[in-house]
Amino acid sequence: MRYEMMLPHQIRTAIDEGWPVVLPLGVLEYHGEHMAVGMDTLAVVKIVEILEKGIDLVVLPPFYYGAASYAVEAPEGKGSLHVGAEALLPFAQEMFRGLLRIGFRSIHAFIHHQTENFSVGMPTDLAFKLAARQAIFAFLEKERGEGWWGDAKMADYYQQQSAGDDPFNWIKIHPLLTAEMIRTRYPFDHAGEGETSLMLSLCPEAVDMRHFTDGTWYTAGAKQASKKLGDKGRDVILAEMRRILSPRPVPLAKSAKRPRRWKKD
């Protein structure tokens, strides 16, 4: 469900049943003359729209104002909109703290922009990753007081962690295309064959090849773009996101209500 459309009783159900909360995260950046500047974010938004039809999800309004950088093109007349990571960090920290206070404990941001370097990190994802960590520390300290980690109640911390259930899993940032997908299953590029195909599949109104111009190395492959390749990328991404967001049993102590389920089961 789209968060902005949810009534409070629906929000409480989502919290009690442990629905994942998904934040499409991205930028506005020049993607050649043939493609919309929102591509990186639109890819996540459109994939999440498909997923949401089959899984109980809370979908937050997308965040488009990441650190696009002007590495591809200067912004004048081209459309890239860069907001520096220093400005993103306090915003993201407040947002994550707010989501934790509402009661959500399974928050997932998905990002496509510059994620060929995801394991090392780039400014937008690094800002949100750091903000997530800081928000969790601040939240726990406020709720439980200093010394919360050393308290006897936390003696099973490492067991919890190995089961993937420690507080630092409450917020996670994921790439839309994983390193494994990029290596073996889908071409990663900027406004080339891979991204243009993905848009032809997910959001064809964001592509207009009549405006394609030659002359930039990174867009040259766009001429080979096809909906067919984009459909393949879409399916690879959907499979991985379903794995990440698939329903896990909610421990009874944490939720006395029924566990989350697949809608189409």
Contacts to Zn ion by CB under 5 A: 39-40, 195
Which residue carries 């959907």 as its tokens? 238
* Residue closer to Zn ion (CB basis): 64 or 139: 64
What minimum distance in Å lies between the beta carbon of 189 and Zn ion? 8
* Residue closer to Zn ion (CB basis): 80 or 106: 80
Start-end of H helices in 192-254: 193-202, 227-245
Give which of 17, 98, 70, 54 is closest to 238, Cα–Cα: 54
* Residue closer to Zn ion (CB basis): 68 or 135: 68
* Residue closer to Zn ion (CB basis): 29 or 56: 29
Give which of 111, 133, 112, 119 is closest to 191, Cα–Cα: 112
- Structure token digits, residue 216: 């930039």
Q: Which residue is nearest to Zn ion (CB)?
A: 40
What minimum distance in Å lies between the beta carbon of 240 and Zn ion? 18
Query: d(Cα 33, Cα 211) in Å, to the nearest integer?
Result: 6
Is-contact 204 227, C-beta < 8 A?
yes
What minimum distance in Å lies between the beta carbon of 171 and Zn ion? 24
What minimum distance in Å lies between the beta carbon of 69 and Zn ion? 12
Start-end of H helices in the chain: 8-16, 39-52, 85-102, 123-144, 157-162, 179-184, 193-202, 227-245
* Residue closer to Zn ion (CB basis): 68 or 250: 68
* Residue closer to Zn ion (CB basis): 11 or 81: 81
What minimum distance in Å lies between the beta carbon of 61 and Zn ion? 20
Q: Sheet holding 21-25: strands in order across?
A: 58-59, 21-25, 107-111, 171-175
- Structure token digits, residue 249: 């049993």
Query: d(Cα 132, Cα 91) in Å, to the nearest integer?
Result: 11
What minimum distance in Å lies between the beta carbon of 114 and Zn ion? 8
